[in-house]
Amino acid sequence: MNKKQILYFLNKEIDAIPIPNVINSVKEKSQLVSVSNTNTENKNIVVNKGRFPKRVLAGVMVSVFLFLAFSFALFPLWAENNYTTLSIDINPSLTIVLDENEKVYEVNAINDDATTLLNGLSILGIDLDSALNIILEKAILDGFLLEESENAVLISVQNNRSTVKNKIKENIQTRVNNYFSQHSINGNVIFEDYNKELEEELEELEEKFNNSNIHMSNAKYQYIKRILNRFPQLVGHEEYLAQMSMVELSRLLNEQQNSGAVQNIINQILQNILEQLHGGNGR
């Protein structure tokens, strides 16, 4: 059964299950609170406000002033209390969610290589620096990063506060660069900003792929889009580009227009398609 058949039959099975009817009990147990009622209540408050003694009004104003003053003073502290999502692409692609203390709250594999990379690692609850060390160490062990060779890591950081985002970006840059120099790795750290507008496009693209194992982060897709802008002859071959590691993609982006490398990739894609067709006929 393929993916579409599973969804089709699952939908049929769902349709066969009766949905409980709770509408009457909901109506009995709750009253519909209309906005106009709320507004009337608010209007009443406004009308009553005129009857407040001046001393009470002054007291309220002082309280509001003090509250606002404290809010502004404490705002940076509150604002930093939010979570950060990182995506890391080497060839493994994974996402890490950090809590407000920059400790790993959640880690998710985006592709098969990331499952291999994360296999046996326990990084939940540890700080970002240690987590990066562990991930990079394992990436070398699994052969995703090569010592004494060219490497590239693509990172994107998402946080509502740009100060927090930039701080984390700087921290990652320093940490990864230090790691590379300590391990004689010729590596490049690339940053891409998360682009919300690409979400739908990326989803549609991934659904078109023949291979359901091919997934990439928003950042990697943005990077691939840069390549497609530079080499429009590669448009339509996103599935192949998605499987390339970041070092291959960064080499490609830096190629000259009409270079042999781009033509080689197209040739390789055509060869793969032919091989698949040949294999299919042989079965």
Partner 1 sequence: MKTLLEQSMQKMKKGEEQAFEMVYELTKKQVFFTILAIIKDYGIAEELMQDTYIRLRKNIAKYENNTNANAWIVRIAHNLAINEYHKRKKELITDELENDFLFHSVDENSLLNNLLLKQLFNILNVEEREIVMLHTLGYKHHEISKQIEKPLGTVLWIYNKAIKKMQKEVAKDE
Measured at the alpha carbon of residue 268, what is the angle toward residues 265 and 271, in degrees to the nearest 5?
155
Query: Which span sits near partner 1 by CB under 8 A: 5-13, 57-65, 161-169, 179-187?
Result: 5-13
Task: Give 90 or 216: the residue with its C-beta nearer to partner 1.
Answer: 216
Residue 272: helix, strand or coil by DSSP? helix
In angstroms, rounded to a whole number, what is the distance separating the alpha carbons of residues 280 and 157?
Answer: 42
Query: Which span sits near partner 1 by CB under 8 A: 133-141, 175-183, 213-221, 269-277?
Result: 213-221
Maximum Cα–Cα distance across the chain = 93
- Count of positions on this chain that bind partner 1 (CB under 8 A): 51
Question: In the complex, what is the shortest distance from the CB of residue 134 to partner 1, in angstroms, rounded to a whole number?
Answer: 20
Please identify which residue in 218, 222, 245, 250 interacts with partner 1, judged by CB under 8 A: 218
Asked if residue 203 binds partner 1 (CB under 8 A), the reply is yes
Query: Which span sits near partner 1 by CB under 8 A: 67-75, 137-145, 200-208, 227-235?
Result: 200-208
Distance, CA of 230 to chain centre: 24
Distances (CA, A) of 113 to 109, 191, 224, 251: 8, 21, 18, 20
List Cβ neighbours of 35 (8 Å cut-off, separation of 6 or more): none
Q: Alpha-carbon dihedral of residues 253, 255, 256, 262, nearest 10 degrees?
A: -90
Instruction: Name which of 139, 127, 138 is nearest 172 in CA terms.
Output: 127
Asked if residue 197 binds partner 1 (CB under 8 A), the reply is no
Query: Which span sits near partner 1 by CB under 8 A: 33-41, 47-55, 142-150, 172-180?
Result: 33-41
Q: Which residues contact partner 1 by CB under 8 A?
A: 1-3, 6-7, 9-14, 16-20, 22-23, 25-27, 29-38, 85, 87, 93, 95, 108-111, 199-200, 202-203, 206-207, 212-213, 215-218
